Structure 1
Amino acid sequence: MAFSVDGLVSGLDTTSIVKQLIDIQRRPITLMENKQANLIDQKAAWQEVSTRLLALESSSNKFNAPSTFASRSSKFLNNNSNGGSVLSVSAGGSVASGSYDMVVTQLAKSQKSSSNNFASLTAAANVSGTLTITPNGESAVNISITSSDSLTDIRDSINNSAVGDSAVATIINTGSQYKLVVTSIDTGTANSFTISDVTGGSQNLTFTESQAALDANFTIDNISVTKSSNTVSDVIDGATIELETIGSGTISFAVDTSAILAKVQDFADKYNALMDYVREQFTYEQDQNKKGALFGNVSLETIQAQLQSIVSGVVPGLNAGNSGEFAFLAQVGIKTDNLNQLVIDEADFKDALRDNFSKVQDLFVPSGSGTYTFLAADGFAVGGTYETQVIDSGGGVAALQMRRSGTTNWITLTQNGNFASGPNDTDLEGVLLRTGTLTVGDPAGSMKVTVGIAERVSAFTAKYTEHSTEGLVFNQNRTIEQRDKELQIQIDDLEERLAKREDDLKARFVNLETLLANLSSEQSYLDSQLSTLSKGWK
């Protein structure tokens, strides 16, 4: 209950005195609240670090494998004098640079069968009987038609039947009459069909093939090719061709240096944005006694040091002294300035791509060669040269082992059919090889494994931000939240004790005023008695 204890008798400003006494004892709470405010700033800073790490991870994922790194440009030089487009072509990352002469002699087409004329869409067609449609290589589909069915009803019956997966029925308005047209959904002779006439009613339903099913015919470098579709994606590895008309020309593919540069520039921008923010956190402005929320944070220093080591150091497994092999980014025009920012010399980078594409690619994506076929590697794998041997893992079962040069421990890979994979938490984490059938006693061999910068950055940033005890940012936030809870418990406890202390002080001052009032009353009584006695003596 709020009440005033200002000195009615003593004249003391007891409210102010109590407040000052409580404020002095509240200083530990103020210090803890300041710590909580700092924790809020730290949590916000870690959230920003996480956001920038995720942006860097997303950027690195755009070119951390051969299929995503190797952007290719494609074009078609048309030989047709009329300028009509013969074909269009798109290239994936796996297509090889080169050119191909194309001659298109026939486009793939769907079969179309059209009916005789009908006067109305909705009136009874007076057709009665069974319409049989047989898609090529499939069972016949029988569709029952009654004399009351309209042309629209017949169309819907066809489309709702099992034949609807292979052909579609539509109605064409010829101007004064209507025709039912059945068209195969897919092009090519393999997708043709047969269709019967219906002659059981007062009007017949008869069909004429207005367009035969045709395959696409073309030559590529004088090699004849036949396809059921005008979309061709299995002739040139990694390329998709859309045939559009009859004619000829030349398809060419080349490394799209501008597209690759754009990916690498985006990667550099995201890396620089992260490093900028980290540098802000480690800045101390002495004249203003101001520093970043994460100033001196060891975990943030770890992130900074590891990422700087990855992007500016030598890629493990690569050696710049081997046949012009690139081993670090500076060799291809990507350098680190005095603020640890990545700076790209576009001309040098494009020159390196044109002259040594595969070697530049190895800087960014996992690669390997040797006794077995390299397929993939995790960003935590350790690049280098490995010895290989095939051992008896028990009962005559063959198992592949690998040992990195300079180490003593053999790593046993997990065999699954013709493939072997490296176990987690080893130098071969995520490594996948095609081994074929292994036999105990196979000759010893060797493998060279490299893990590119983009894949390593992707793996490390993913681990920093994962929502588990393995995630560095997650652990930092969890520690902050736990510390905040501990401080709040202490604050609540002190607040409760101070509230009791304040009530106690107020009660003491009330008692003081009461005592002083009593003393004042007694003094007045004594003064009165003394005054009476004094008068009696006179």
Structure 2
Amino acid sequence: MAISSSLGIGSGMDINGIVSQLVAAEGQPQFNAISRQETVAKAQVSGLGSLKSALSTFQTAVRKLNDINLFKTHLATSGNEGIVKVAAGTGSVAGSHTVQVTNLAKAQKSVAAAEFTGASEVVGSGTMTFSVGAKTPFSLTIDSSNNTLAGIRDAINGASDNNGVTASIINVNNSTNTGTISKLVLTAKDTGLANAFSVAVVGDAGLARLDSSTPANFTGEAAKDANILVDGQAVTRSSNVISDVLQGVTLDLQSAVQGTDVNVDIKLDNEAIKKTITDFVAAYNTMTSTTEKLGKFAGKDGGSNGALLGDSTLRNIRNDLRQQTSVPVSSASSAFNTLKSIGIDIDKSGVMTMDGSKLDKALATNLSSVSDVFSSSDGIATRLNAKVIQYLQTGGSLDTRQTSLNKQLKTLSDKRDSVQLRLDNVQKGLMKQFIAMDIAVGRFQSTGSFLSNQINQWS
């Protein structure tokens, strides 16, 4: 009876529809109010996220300028990269030098004279001891588990204490060029005399063929050191990559040409410095553009207001960044102690611009002061970085705002659930009332029909 009545069988009314409309009329104003507050809060959370992202990107550019090594960056060039390539790093000093490569460093390569029919042929048994320069020797036991040519190769390469030798197998013509044989090749992992190796064998006659103390057992190339002349002074190194002759400069030897001097020039890398400053200018303008959009007031122009319109934190950040770029740097010389004095200016609309010619002049006139403007203890990049850290740190103003907004969203979500629970109870109560009414109407109609039938019969 209750089910049929809930469908309006007794009264003919759409009980479900009526109850739904009544519940909606009761709850919609509250849901609308919650939704409006959620929309505002979510927009602010998103706006704060955009602000933090912009600050983080800006900080990356600022930190590059805050690195004092930037203004010590040098560019090294070689007069002949076919002979020597050069690269300047931290600590390099401007200057010109000549480099002559008389010998390249080489790794020892020893080819066993013994010929084998293939990698699976048994060589012999015993112990092989490898000595590599002044390093601790390592030994291998050769027995039935690894006494083939391939087994010895793998044992050498797989030794955990192998400190400088690799083994391989080559398949070549035999001594009479009438067939193919296999040979063992041993190669030093590193170049130079300090990495030369020897092999001592204690074992049977087969394995003794790999003892390097017998000169006839191996052919190949001996280890060699690199020999160069730098400004006429002799230099010997075990590697072809030399980084301890010219301070902060790496020499990468490519070929040996005796009697040929290569000019190596090291000079301040103005282009790298200018690019870093240019990136800073672009990052500042991007940061400014982001804060303007977030704090925008649409007014009569139409469109939407910024997500952080009227936000005090946004306003403080914008003012702080602008102020830090305009305050003179006390540690720099009076001639170059502001951004404007080295060619960087901010117009009335807040856009930062750079005069490349003026910056070049400042770099050429007083590099130290330009460095101080950015990276000294009270330099602009130093101050900006400190401010950004303050805003981005956990517990900072932005983090606190986001935490507060997320709590507000959680409260609104709980409030929505509370309203929905109340409406569910209201709906249940209304359904009971309408169902009871429907049942009563049904009964009245049934009684009325009965009485009408009786009267008609009496008549």
Please give the residue correspondences for 1:72-87 in structure 2 after superposition, counting only pairs within 5 Å: 72-78=74-80, 85-87=82-84
1:165 Cα shift? 1.5
1:451-496 Cα offsets, whole Å, 9 max, x none, are 4333433343344233x3x233221111101112222333333444
1:304 aligns with 2:306: no
1:27 Cα shift? 2.6
Contact 2:45/2:405 (CA < 8 Å) preserved in 1?
yes
The change in CA–CA distance for 1:13 and 1:167 in structure 2 (over 3 A counts) is closer
Using the alignment, how far apart are the partners of 2:384 and 2:59 within structure 1?
Answer: 7
Please give the residue correspondences for 1:449-468 in structure 2 after superposition, counting only pairs within 5 Å: 450-466=377-393, 468=394
Using the alignment, how far apart are the partners of 1:169 and 1:483 within structure 2?
Answer: 69
Please point out which of 328, 331, 334 is paired with 1:314: 328
1:91 Cα shift? 1.3
Contact 1:255/1:354 (CA < 8 Å) preserved in 2?
no
The aligned counterpart of 1:485 is 410
1:119 aligns with 2:119: no
The change in CA–CA distance for 1:31 and 1:223 in structure 2 (over 3 A counts) is same
Using the alignment, how far apart are the partners of 2:344 and 2:426 within structure 1?
Answer: 66
Q: Secondary structure at the match of 1:340?
A: coil
Please give the residue correspondences for 1:269-308 in structure 2 after superposition, counting only pairs within 5 Å: 269-287=282-300, 288=302, 290-308=304-322
The change in CA–CA distance for 1:159 and 1:496 in structure 2 (over 3 A counts) is closer
Contact 1:4/1:15 (CA < 8 Å) preserved in 2?
no
Larger relative contact order (Cα-Cα within 8 Å, sequence gap ≥ 6): 2
The change in CA–CA distance for 1:350 and 1:175 in structure 2 (over 3 A counts) is farther
Identity %: 26
Which of the two has greater strand per residue?
Answer: 1
Please point out which of 78, 83, 88 is paired with 2:85: 88
Using the alignment, how far apart are the partners of 1:152 and 1:289 within structure 2?
Answer: 77
Please point out which of 99, 102, 108 is paired with 1:102: 99
1:57 aligns with 2:83: no
1:334 aligns with 2:348: no
Q: Secondary structure at the match of 2:45?
A: helix
1:40 Cα shift? 1.0
Using the alignment, how far apart are the partners of 1:164 and 1:510 within structure 2?
Answer: 90
The aligned counterpart of 1:183 is 187
The aligned counterpart of 1:251 is 264
| Matched length | 432
The change in CA–CA distance for 1:334 and 1:93 in structure 2 (over 3 A counts) is farther
Which letter does structure 1 place at the counterpart of 2:130?
Answer: I
Q: Secondary structure at the match of 2:229?
A: strand
The change in CA–CA distance for 1:180 and 1:499 in structure 2 (over 3 A counts) is closer
The aligned counterpart of 1:438 is none
1:61-97 Cα offsets, whole Å, 9 max, x none, are 334212345443221113xxxxx71111111243222
Q: Secondary structure at the match of 2:198?
A: strand
Q: Secondary structure at the match of 1:291?
A: coil
Using the alignment, how far apart are the partners of 1:60 and 1:188 within structure 2?
Answer: 44
Contact 1:231/1:243 (CA < 8 Å) preserved in 2?
yes
Which letter does structure 2 place at the counterpart of 1:301?
Answer: R
Unaligned stretches of 5+ in structure 1? 79-83, 368-449, 523-538
The aligned counterpart of 1:475 is 400
The change in CA–CA distance for 1:35 and 1:174 in structure 2 (over 3 A counts) is same
Contact 2:135/2:163 (CA < 8 Å) preserved in 1?
no
The change in CA–CA distance for 1:251 and 1:507 in structure 2 (over 3 A counts) is same
Contact 1:117/1:179 (CA < 8 Å) preserved in 2?
yes
Using the alignment, how far apart are the partners of 1:183 and 1:46 within structure 2?
Answer: 60
Pairwise CA RMSD: 3.8
Using the alignment, how far apart are the partners of 1:215 and 1:129 within structure 2?
Answer: 33
The change in CA–CA distance for 1:456 and 1:507 in structure 2 (over 3 A counts) is same
Contact 2:130/2:139 (CA < 8 Å) preserved in 1?
yes
Using the alignment, how far apart are the partners of 1:150 and 1:57 within structure 2?
Answer: 62
The change in CA–CA distance for 1:120 and 1:341 in structure 2 (over 3 A counts) is farther
Q: Secondary structure at the match of 2:75?
A: strand
Using the alignment, how far apart are the partners of 2:132 and 2:416 within structure 1?
Answer: 80
The aligned counterpart of 2:245 is 235
1:4 Cα shift? 7.2
1:192 aligns with 2:189: no
1:135 Cα shift? 1.9
The change in CA–CA distance for 1:14 and 1:207 in structure 2 (over 3 A counts) is closer
Which letter does structure 2 place at the counterpart of 1:30?
Answer: N
Q: Secondary structure at the match of 1:354?
A: helix
Provide the TM-score with structure 2 as the length reference. Answer: 0.80
Which letter does structure 2 place at the counterpart of 1:204?
Answer: R
Please give the residue correspondences for 1:397-416 in structure 2 after superposition, counting only pairs within 5 Å: none
The change in CA–CA distance for 1:504 and 1:180 in structure 2 (over 3 A counts) is closer
The aligned counterpart of 1:67 is 69
The aligned counterpart of 2:230 is 220
The aligned counterpart of 1:425 is none
The aligned counterpart of 1:210 is 220
Using the alignment, how far apart are the partners of 1:141 and 1:320 within structure 2?
Answer: 62
Using the alignment, how far apart are the partners of 2:391 and 2:65 within structure 1?
Answer: 20
Using the alignment, how far apart are the partners of 2:108 and 2:11 within structure 1?
Answer: 109
The change in CA–CA distance for 1:223 and 1:451 in structure 2 (over 3 A counts) is farther
Q: Secondary structure at the match of 2:79?
A: strand
1:372-404 Cα offsets, whole Å, 9 max, x none, are xxxxxxxxxxxxxxxxxxxxxxxxxxxxxxxxx
Using the alignment, how far apart are the partners of 2:189 and 2:15 within structure 1?
Answer: 96
Unaligned stretches of 5+ in structure 2? 175-180, 211-215, 448-459
1:88-138 Cα offsets, whole Å, 9 max, x none, are 111124322221111222222222232214132324244444433222223
Please point out which of 125, 129, 135 is paired with 2:132: 135
Using the alignment, how far apart are the partners of 2:303 and 2:100 within structure 1?
Answer: 75
Provide the TM-score with structure 1 as the length reference. Answer: 0.69
Contact 1:113/1:207 (CA < 8 Å) preserved in 2?
no
Using the alignment, how far apart are the partners of 1:182 and 1:359 within structure 2?
Answer: 58
Contact 1:88/1:241 (CA < 8 Å) preserved in 2?
yes
The aligned counterpart of 2:450 is none
The aligned counterpart of 1:201 is 205
Which letter does structure 2 place at the counterpart of 1:124?
Answer: E
Please give the residue correspondences for 1:309-388 in structure 2 after superposition, counting only pairs within 5 Å: 309-315=323-329, 317-321=330-334, 324=335, 326-365=336-375, 367=376
Using the alignment, how far apart are the partners of 1:520 and 1:140 within structure 2?
Answer: 111
1:41 Cα shift? 0.9
Contact 2:332/2:372 (CA < 8 Å) preserved in 1?
no
